[in-house]
Amino acid sequence: MQRFNFEVLSWSLYVGSETFEGVGPQLTEEAKKHLMNAPQGGVVSILLKYIGPDGNENKLGGVFSQ
């Protein structure tokens, strides 16, 4: 099985009208708390800046609805 290395540089998390930002691969406790308490039907977005296996810096985002 081939493995790929990714390094998360930073992230931005949007929960409703709240914005949380951090460095590295882990969410802050405050961001986790708001994520876990997001209202039913609310929209959550995340944007990651990372270095992929090719050594280039990239961005990846996602939007989710509960």
Q: Please indicate, yes or no, if residue 24 is contained in any of the structural domains.
A: yes
The pair phi, psi for residue 35, each rounded to 5°, is -65, -45
In the prediction, which pLDDT does 15 show?
93
Asked if 49 contacts 5 with a C-beta cutoff of 8 angstroms, the reply is no
Enclosing domain of residue 20: 7-65
Q: Please indicate, yes or no, if residue 1 is contained in any of the structural domains.
A: no
Q: How many residues does the chain have?
A: 66
Q: Over the stretch 17-51, which tens digit does the pLDDT of each residue have?
A: 999 999 999 999 999 999 999 888 889 999 999 99
Confidence label for 3 from pLDDT (cuts 50, 70 and 90): confident
Q: Please indicate, yes or no, if residue 19 is contained in any of the structural domains.
A: yes
pTM equals 0.86
Number of structural domains in the chain: 1
Q: Please indicate, yes or no, if residue 31 is contained in any of the structural domains.
A: yes
Q: Please indicate, yes or no, if residue 36 is contained in any of the structural domains.
A: yes
